[in-house]
Amino acid sequence: MAKQTARTSIPNCPSVSVLQGATQAPVARFEIHYHQVLDPKGQILGPIPEFAKNSETLIGFYRNMFKTRAFDTKAIALQRRGQLGTYASCLGQEAVGTAIGSCMRKEDVLLPAYREYAAQFLRGVRMQDILLYWGGNETGMNFEIPRRDFPICIPIASQAPHAVGVGYAIRLRREQRVAVCVLGDGGTSKGDFYEAINAAGVWDLPIVFVVANNQWAISMPRNAQSRAETLAQKAIAAGIAGEQVDGNDVIALYERIEKALIKARNGHGPTLIEALTYRLSDHTTADDASRYRSESEVAQWWRADPLVRLRRYLSNQGNWSEKAEKELEFESQQEVERAVREYLDIPAQPAGSMFDHLYASLPESLEWQRRSAIQGGRQDD
Ligand X SMILES: Cc1ncc(C[n+]2csc(CCOP(=O)(O)OP(=O)(O)O)c2C)c(N)n1
Q: Is 89 exposed, middle or buried (0-12, 13-18, 19+ CB in 10 A)?
A: buried
Q: How many other C-beta atoms can be found within 10 angstroms of the C-beta atom of residue 45?
A: 12
Catalytic site includes residue 227: no
The region of 28-36, 41-49, 54-62, 149-157 touching ligand X under the rule CB under 6 A is 149-157
Question: Of 271-290, which residues contact ligand X (CB under 6 A)?
Answer: 279, 283
Measured from the CB atom, the residue of 171 and 293 that comes closer to Mg ion is 293
Q: How far apart are CA 312 and CA 343, in angstroms?
A: 35
CB of 9 to Mg ion, least distance (A): 42
Q: How far apart are CA 175 and CA 171, in angstroms?
A: 6
What letter does residue 352 receive in the DSSP assignment?
A: G
Measured from the CB atom, the residue of 73 and 284 that comes closer to Mg ion is 284
Question: Of 97-136, which residues contact ligand X (CB under 6 A)?
Answer: 115
Among 65, 99, 156, 307, binds ligand X (CB under 6 A): 156
Q: How far apart are CA 161 and CA 208, in angstroms?
A: 13
User: How far is CA 275 from its chain centroid?
Assistant: 9
Q: Could you tell me which of 23, 22, 16, 17 has the C-alpha nearest to residue 4?
A: 22
CB of 343 to ligand X, least distance (A): 23
Total residues interacting with ligand X, rule: CB under 6 A: 15
The region of 130-138, 150-158, 231-239, 368-376 touching ligand X under the rule CB under 6 A is 150-158
Measured from the CB atom, the residue of 217 and 340 that comes closer to ligand X is 217
Among 185, 249, 255, 305, binds ligand X (CB under 6 A): 185
* Radius of gyration for the alpha carbons in the chain, expressed in angstroms and rounded: 23
SS3 294: coil
Q: Is 187 in the site for ligand X (CB under 6 A)?
A: yes
Q: How far apart are CA 46 and CA 63, in angstroms?
A: 25
Among 20, 21, 77, 155, binds ligand X (CB under 6 A): 155
Among 140, 146, 186, 269, binds ligand X (CB under 6 A): 186
Active-site annotation holder among 69, 162, 279, 309: 279
CB contact set of 49 (below 8 Å; sequence gap of 6+): 37, 251, 254, 255
Catalytic site includes residue 292: yes
Sign of CA dihedral 261, 207, 62, 133: positive
Total residues interacting with Mg ion, rule: CB under 5 A: 5
Catalytic site includes residue 279: yes
Measured from the CB atom, the residue of 21 and 221 that comes closer to Mg ion is 221
Q: Would you tell me which residues interact with ligand X (CB under 6 A)?
A: 115, 154-156, 183-187, 214, 216-218, 279, 283
Q: Would you tell me which residues interact with Mg ion (CB under 5 A)?
A: 184-186, 214, 217
Q: Which residues are catalytic?
A: 279, 283, 292
